[in-house]
Amino acid sequence: MHIVIDISSLPYGTGVSKYCAELVKALGQIDHTNQYTLFAGTLRQKHIFESFVVENHLPKNFQFKWIPISPRLQTILWNDRQLVKLNWLIGDFDLYHSLDWSLAPTNKPTIITVHDLFFLKHPELQQHPYRKTLENRLHRAQQSQLPVIAVSQTTKQDLVELIDYPADKITVIYEALPISSIHPSDWQTVQSKYQLPEKFLLMLGTLEPRKNVPRTIQAYLASDTDLPLVIVGKLGWEKLNLQPNENIHFTGFVSDADLQAIWQHTHALLYPSLYEGFGFPILEAYQHQIPVLTSANSSMQEITHSKSILVDPLDPTSITKGINQLSHLSPTQRQQIIKAGTSQLKQFSWQTTAKQTLNLYNQQHNLSFLSNL
């Protein structure tokens, strides 16, 4: 079987980028039989994709195909206008996997991954630059009854409820924590660079309405914790009108190596997001043996499976109570919640994700073969 996978989302440092990189690496570890073509539409970032293939030692049955068009033009040609068939650019293949925003026209069996439907569920809180493109992609997938990989039961439920997608066309295949080989930066250097305290509560994510930063800060200021709050993430489209406070530290974007050092000095993670399709930071905290406060909604409740302190993200009082509880855990209670999180982390692995994805590839290829007899 010849499988083509769109890896255009790889360079952007998002959760989808992690999914793209880790799925391809895991498939490379378990499948040396099928032929894979990884392709990307890019004008200036070709070297990033080529380096990814080389640095991760992908086997010989994986090749990269460069398509010399910009990502924006790619989405216009494929999602909005549906002008250029993928076969014209790639040649013959057996199955196509669309990982995120673009869905190329083709008559070949196609699988799409859907990460979340926040842009439909809460459009008032979302300023996604490709929102219409994402809507077009889903509409076409629904019209064609394409098989979908949903990264959580939450995303599957949203697909069914929000756009009436057939449940029997949706397979839930969880993501997992990226396998990191990044060596942490020197802590004293990081501490001086961002003016950080020695121990703190951590919030992590782009400053956008979905991350619920204003309510969390309000809850933090009303709590009785004596731990400072560190907020790590690049500036998004949310403007925060906050009074200066020596106990609240904004770092802006930090490198992966700096973040590894920051994790090592985190007392607890605050992650009361309004909605998440998966929620990588929860698993990252579990990996670093750090207790988590998160929301009793969407995939966060699903992934943590009651192994964290759950709060109502719309209620600052609920968040305050959770912060107080986290800050005053006894050593025994802290170890219990850390042990539970570490145990939950074992439920997610990229090898399992890759095996389940490959099974779906085989199913769809076999169905296509039988239908053509």
Residues forming beta bridges with residue 250, ordered by sequence position: 231
In a domain, 14, yes or no: yes
Number of domains in the chain: 2
pLDDT at 372 over 70: no
Residue 235 has a pLDDT of 73
Same domain, 102 and 14: yes
Question: Are residue 195 and residue 309 in the same domain, yes or no?
Answer: yes
In a domain, 91, yes or no: yes
Q: Output the CA–CA distances (angstroms, integers) from residue 22 to 4, 105, 180, in the order listed.
A: 16, 25, 10
In the 8-state DSSP scheme, what is residue 77?
A: I
Give the list of residues 6+ apart from residue 91 with CB closer than 8 angstroms, or none. Answer: none
* Residue at 369: amino acid letter: F
pLDDT confidence tier of residue 239, bands split at 50, 70 and 90:
low
Q: How does residue 136 score in pLDDT terms, banded at 50, 70 and 90?
A: confident
Residues 25, 168 within the same domain: yes
* Average predicted confidence (pLDDT) for the chain: 90
pLDDT value, residue 285? 95
Both 20 and 168 in a single domain?
yes
For residue 282, give every residue at least 6 positions away whose Cβ sits within 8 Å of its Cβ, in sequence order, or none.
269, 271, 292, 294, 300, 303, 304, 308
Same domain, 203 and 290: yes
CA angle 303, 360, 93 (to 5 degrees): 130
Percent of the chain with pLDDT over 90: 67
pLDDT of residue 126: 63
| pLDDT tens sequence across 7-38 | 998 887 777 888 999 999 999 999 999 999 99
On whether both 157 and 277 belong to a single domain, the answer is no
Q: Is the pLDDT of residue 128 over 80?
A: no
pLDDT tens, residue by residue, 147-192: 999 999 999 999 999 999 999 999 999 999 877 668 899 999 999 9
Domain containing residue 266: CATH number: 3.40.50.2000
Cα of 123 vs its chain's centroid, Å: 19
Q: What is the pLDDT of residues 240-252, one digit of tens each?
A: 666 668 899 999 8
Question: pTM for the full model?
Answer: 0.90
The secondary structure of 211-250 as a DSSP string is G-HHHHHHHHHHS---S-EEEE--B-SPPP-----TTEEE
Q: What is the pLDDT of residue 246?
A: 86
Residue 342 has pLDDT above 70, yes or no: yes
Pair (165, 201) in one structural domain? no
What is residue 249's predicted lDDT score, i.e. its pLDDT? 94
Cα separations (Å) of 310 from 156, 220, 226, 321, 369? 22, 15, 21, 10, 47
Q: Are residues 341 and 355 in the same domain?
A: no
Tell me if 8 sits within 8 A of 42, measured CB to CB: yes
Say yes or no: 163 and 198 in one domain: no
Give the structural domain span for 242: 187-345
